[in-house]
Each structure stands twice: as structure tokens, then as C-alpha cells.
Amino acid sequence: MRSIQQPGPANPERIQWVEARGRAFAFTLEAGLPLLEAARRGFAAQGFAGGVLNIRSGALGPFAYVMPALSKTGANAAFYSDTFRPAGISRLTTGAMTLGQRDGAPFFHCHALWVEADGRAGGGHILPEETLVAEPFAVDAFGIDGAMFVAEPDPETNFKLFGPVASPTAAAGTTSRAFALRLRPNQDFAGALETFCRERGIINARIHGGVGSTIGVRFADGRIVEPFATELAIRSGAIAARPGGTLEAELDIAVVDYTGGLAEGRLTRGDNPVLMTMELVLEVVAERMRG
């Protein structure tokens, strides 16, 4: 399997996880607000301090983003481009967001694809500080209670990255058992999730959110994204037992690579190692009967 040498030592815990409770809901982001504040208000209105969401469409402007890029200094295995600020309104076509905390304040990690006002298709990492909601748009969210994604220094990658930590429960009216996860580098995306579920007797789970990166991309239909530095958003995902009991993850994603190439589709299992990180929430749908 492909791998990338990271600058720091590998943490022996390859999946950082916290068990929590959660609930799916939808809300509308308010126009005129910073995207971060609009997302925070939507979760807070349902009693949650954070969680994840998926975007099917939407409008942003003003808007700022970065793309994946090669590292200029060698301090990281890959880095970010300079900041881009498209004119006018950019219209999102798909995306995913993790809403958590950084330096004690709300913060998000969001990857998306969009079409800019001049018709150019783009994608990348949306910057919370410079992005406003141009028109109201609906999102599908999953709030988590008992866990929070918190940005902390990660010695392995030499980035400050979101990872789940335990947090006080807020009695937000949850409906499901859930796990907040962060996958560390150089492990197959689907395989890591399948193993995680198998070890806990989970036979059916839904994926909510999903923000991270893989070392290039191999799609189930044979398409290949060769550039190794990517930014990825999960469009939909699930882990389910097949006839015979084998667990299989189905992961439908959207991705931009460091050359600006865009792609969407279902990942092949066993050949998509994580580059830097992968954040998501697993909602438990069914578990193996315990004797």
C-alpha cells in the first residue's frame, strides 16, 4: 500500500476515537453571517456545541480557500497553497464540515467543491475567517454529545489537527450511539473503518461528515488520481455486513488534488491510505447480538 513519510513519530494509536451519543437533523445556514457563526448557531439551536455536517448545495461570498500543495520547507509531508479569494458568489456542489474548537473558540474544518461566479469549477479547504453565507442554504448535520473535535498539535504530521476528545454531556436529546473518529496517516481508509466496527461488534453504521485527505485516490470504477496530496470530503458513506458476515465500507467522496484536479465517486476498498487525517462520525445502526 502507498505510504508517505511523515516528519514526526507515528502515534501507536492509529485511530483516535471517543464514544458519544448523537442525533441527525437538518438546518438552514443564515445569509449574511460568517459561515462559522452560521454553522455554530445551527448546532446550538439543537443543543449541540459541535458535530459534523454535509453540504449538497449552497452559496458563499465573500469566500476564501486554500488548496493542497507541496511542502516548500520539508517541515510537512504536504502543505497548503496561497489563499484564493474568488470574486462574486461561489456555488457549492458538495462538501463536508467538522465543527469543533480551536484555541478555546468555535472553529471548523471544511472541504468542498464549487463553481465560481465566472463558471470555473474549484475545490479546496474553506477558510472560516474570511467566508460568508451569501444566500440561505440547508445542510444535513449530526450533533455529538459527550465528545468534541478539538484542534491540537500533532507531532506526527507537524500540523494542528482536529481530533475527538471527551466532553461533558449536555442532554441534547440524542437518539443514537455514535463514535467520533480521527484516522491517522498511512492506513487504508475503508479497511480502518471496517476493522474498527468489527472489533466492537458493529454490523451496520452510517458515516456523517467526513473531512480529510488520502494519498492520491483509487476509485471503484478504475479511475486514478495520481497526485499524492489531496483534500477530500465524504458525500455519503456506510459500513454494512455482507452475506457471510464480512463488513464492507462504501465511501462516496469528492476530492481536489494539488494540481487542481477534481474528481468524485466511490472509493475502492484496500487501496486508499490516509495522507494526513480523516475526521468523521460513525452512527451505530445495528450491532451483533451479545450472548
Could you write out the DSSP letters of every residue in 70-82? --SSSSSSSEE--
Question: Quick check: 218 pLDDT over 80?
Answer: yes
Domains of the chain in sequence order: 15-20+174-286 (3.30.1330.80), 23-144 (3.30.1330.80)
- pLDDT digits over 241-274, tens only? 998 889 999 999 999 999 999 999 999 999 999 9
Do 52 and 209 touch, CB atoms closer than 8 A?
yes
Choose the weakest-confidence range: 19-28, 90-99, 162-171: 162-171
Q: Mean pLDDT of all residues in the chain? A: 97
Task: Output the pLDDT for position 264.
Answer: 98
What pLDDT digit, counting tens, does each position of 173-182 carry?
Answer: 889 999 999 9
- pLDDT tens-digit readout, 130-143: 999 999 999 999 99
Q: Which of 35, 103, 25, 44 is nearest to 63 (CA)?
A: 35
**pLDDT at 291 (0 to 100):** 53
What pTM value is reported for the model?
0.97
